[in-house]
Amino acid sequence: MEGDLAGLIKSRQNDMALGMVASIYRQLVNGLKHIHANGYFHRRIEPEHILTSAPARVKYRSMDVSSATLVEDATVEVRISGFGRVRKRNSTEPSGASVSKTTWYRAPEVLVGSTSLSASVDMWAVGLILIELVTLKPAFKGDSNANQLMKIVEVLGGLARTVNDSDVDERGKVEGGGEWVEGLRLGTAAGLLTTDPKAPPKPLRNLFQRRVPDSLIYCVADLLRYDPEKRVTAEQCTDHPYWIDTRDLTA
């Protein structure tokens, strides 16, 4: 392998073709689907732990079905690495145990000190990486667990928001991170949550500085649910509209 995803993102001089974004995402999900199906979760999914090689260039079709535009970009092969802290699914961790090397990709349950972690921590990281593939910069750059959680809440809203408190998207799903009772309890007890628990979310589309399809926005929304039980799994990702929309983007 030639490098890692962090280096690839840093080296980009212009936006990735959305077909290239989808290809990297699909390979990452397939890798995690295999890991999770075998009873494990990675715990440190972040760009530095995704090895990459770009053996060729290819023409990608537009994700806009009404457009015949072709965009040339790299075809990237990815492989998950960094298996030093892999754990059995639904394992118990000491409170505050290190998961991701940086706070930027840590799931909310890690940030609030939950001792019950699952494969959902990997899927949260996938959501953030999908954003980063499009924007070429991390979505939330906190310098501590508390600061990271604050930056997340600023965008996804408070942890006590229900459908009755929030606008819903076109699918009828609550916008933002949604309600997470256990996270609110843990975060409040640890003094990590200082904002209004019903603070409204900002539109996820605001995170992107370019036009992206609705199915990608919805995929990110489903990956960035506060409650780990409500976050989509790797298996569910392969049935998601974004997955279906990106099945054949190479010319």
Task: Read off the amino acid at residue 176.
Answer: G
Query: Which amino acid, one-letter code, is at 132?
Result: E
From the list 81, 126, 130, 150, the residue with the least C-alpha distance to 235 is 126
Mean pLDDT of 193-213: 87
pLDDT band at 118 (very low <50, low <70, confident <90, very high): very high
| Owning domain of residue 51 | 3-245
Alpha helices in the chain (DSSP H): 5-11, 18-37, 108-111, 120-135, 145-156, 181-189, 214-223, 234-237, 241-245
Confidence of residue 61 (pLDDT cuts 50, 70, 90): confident
**Tens digits of residue pLDDT in 178-191:** 999 999 999 999 88
Beta carbons within 10 angstroms of residue 172's beta carbon: 7
- Which range among 45-54, 96-105, 223-232 shows the weakest confidence by mean pLDDT? 96-105
Is residue 158 assigned to a domain? yes
Q: How many CA atoms lie within 13 A of 46 on its CB side?
A: 19
> 168: Cβ–Cβ under 8 A, 6 or more apart, which residues?
174, 175
55-69, 118-132, 196-210: least confident range: 55-69
- In a domain? residue 237: yes
Pairing of strands 50-61, 87-88: unpaired
Residue 251 counted as domain residue: no
CA dihedral 210, 101, 234, 174 (to 10 degrees): -60
Mean pLDDT of the chain: 90
Q: Provide the pLDDT for residue 174.
A: 84
Question: Which CATH number fits the domain that encloses residue 234?
Answer: 1.10.510.10
Task: Using the predicted structure, report yes or no on whether residue 126 has a pLDDT greater than 60.
Answer: yes
pLDDT above 80 for 163? no
Per-residue confidence (pLDDT) for residue 94, from 0 to 100: 57
Within a domain: residue 250? no
pLDDT tens column, 24-48: 999 999 999 999 999 999 999 999 9
CA distances from 114 to 102, 107, 189, 235, 247 (A): 17, 10, 12, 24, 36
Assigned domain for 166 exists: yes
- pLDDT (0 to 100) of residue 109: 97
Mean pLDDT of 154-179: 83
Number of folded domains in the chain?
Answer: 1
**Which of 62 and 214 is assigned the larger pLDDT?**
214
Between 91 and 248, whose confidence is greater?
248
- The two three-digit tokens of residue 200, written as one number: 């409204």
